[in-house]
Chains A and B, each alone.
Chain A
């Protein structure tokens, strides 16, 4: 059962990275951050906190290695987002809409952290054309995807058909 969960999480991360870099790397409309959303959704599962943080860190590291920005930037940000998500998941578990807004809020915090930390370390291009629209549209896209897919994802990972059944 544990190996199944690990395989599901690893597979989800790889799929999220591939879809993020190909489909949403081409589209200039609303572009979500699938990998960050995945880290937020992992925090809603029954996985151990340390495992969620480690998975988030490693997925961020994977995105860093595939890109050109500083190694470790997204690893830190995704781990921070996952940590806040772990600490606030209980408060978000009262309805689909609240959960979606919570995921969108965490995503906005994550995008802001990427811009701030990246700029501090010399990544001036993060604070450029599109920074403002990224701060709005990436969280909106993640909010929509969380509302649609987060409960299903949690049920799959936890193997609990009753999880996150909102009325």
Chain B
């Protein structure tokens, strides 16, 4: 039998802790995760990160085996689909070679320079998640590899995953776009809009799709239309694929609302790429340099 002292102060203690917790939540909402909260997160990550990395070194092979065994059928099907896509992509590549050669010739003839900056990329392994209820992911690269809070993250196909929320020396936490609180400025066709995470219920299931809002809509959007990041966005470089329109939508008094299904499922991520965005402002304003040199610090995944 569990016995407790007669002077039990658990209720006042509990009430005090709840009040403190609500204050912390309000504080975090007001600061929007910046300032002191950011410092606390980074500090805690710095303390726990070495243990997480050591545990991930042992755990990841075991988790991979369990994952593979439980998904054998799905993996085989996915393998077949990927083989077909690879064959198609190789055929497209052959077709495009001639056009690339012509482009290079024109660039030489007319002394054209590409002004598209080449972004630094850091490949990182996904080593875990903070909590079953938390959609964010933890990666095994941190400030020692040049990762900075706010940098955009994409998957190996180039699809948008999210942004770096907090970073320590050896790890970083990435918040997926489906779990973040900030909207993303996107482009659908020629129309600029914003997407925000939204919970939709469909046939007894809840899905995290995204809500697209275009405030100056001129034309409808169709199911299957591709949504990409806009050049107006300050969080992502332009042109990164975000998702696809789920249902047709028509403008209603200059505004349009649609559902976007993201390309990336954060639960299935194993490798991500962190982009060095925005690029170094000094290098981008230097007129004697035509392109920003690639500072790729790619690291192969676990192996």
A interface vs B, CB < 8 Å? 14, 17-29, 31-33, 44-46, 48-50, 53-54, 57, 61-63, 65-76, 79-80, 83, 86-87, 89-90, 93, 111, 114-115, 118, 121-122, 124-129, 131-132, 134, 138
Contact = CB atoms under 8 A, between A and B. Distances in A.
A125 B135 contact: yes
A18 B126 CA distance: 14
A129 B207 contact: yes
Contact of B178 (A32, A45, A75, A125): A125
B59 A26 contact: yes
Given A67-B130, A67-B134, A86 B206 contact: no
B165 interface: yes
B133 interface: yes
A79 to B, nearest CB: 5
Interface in B5-38: 5, 8-11, 13-14, 17-18, 20-25, 27-29, 33, 37
A71 B27 contact: yes
B25 A73 contact: yes
Contact of A118 (B28, B63, B133): B133
Contacts of A121: 25, 29
B51 A14 contact: yes
Interface of B: 1-5, 8-11, 13-14, 17-18, 20-25, 27-29, 33, 37, 40-41, 44-45, 48, 51-52, 55-56, 59-60, 62-63, 66-67, 70, 126-138, 165-166, 173, 175, 178-181, 197-199, 205-208, 267
A166 to B, nearest CB: 13
30 contacts: A19-B55, A21-B128, A22-B55, A23-B63, A29-B66, A29-B70, A31-B132, A50-B13, A63-B130, A65-B40, A67-B130, A68-B33, A69-B134, A69-B136, A71-B37, A72-B20, A75-B24, A80-B14, A83-B10, A87-B10, A111-B132, A124-B198, A125-B179, A125-B208, A126-B133, A127-B206, A128-B135, A128-B178, A128-B207, A134-B133
B68 to A, nearest CB: 12
Nearest to B53: A22
B175 A68 contact: yes
A144 B63 CA distance: 20
Nearest to A94: B1
A32 B131 CA distance: 9
A54 B17 CA distance: 8
A57 B40 contact: no
A69 B207 CA distance: 19
A18 B48 CA distance: 7
B133 A111 contact: yes
Given A53-B10, A71-B37, A80-B18, A25 B198 contact: no
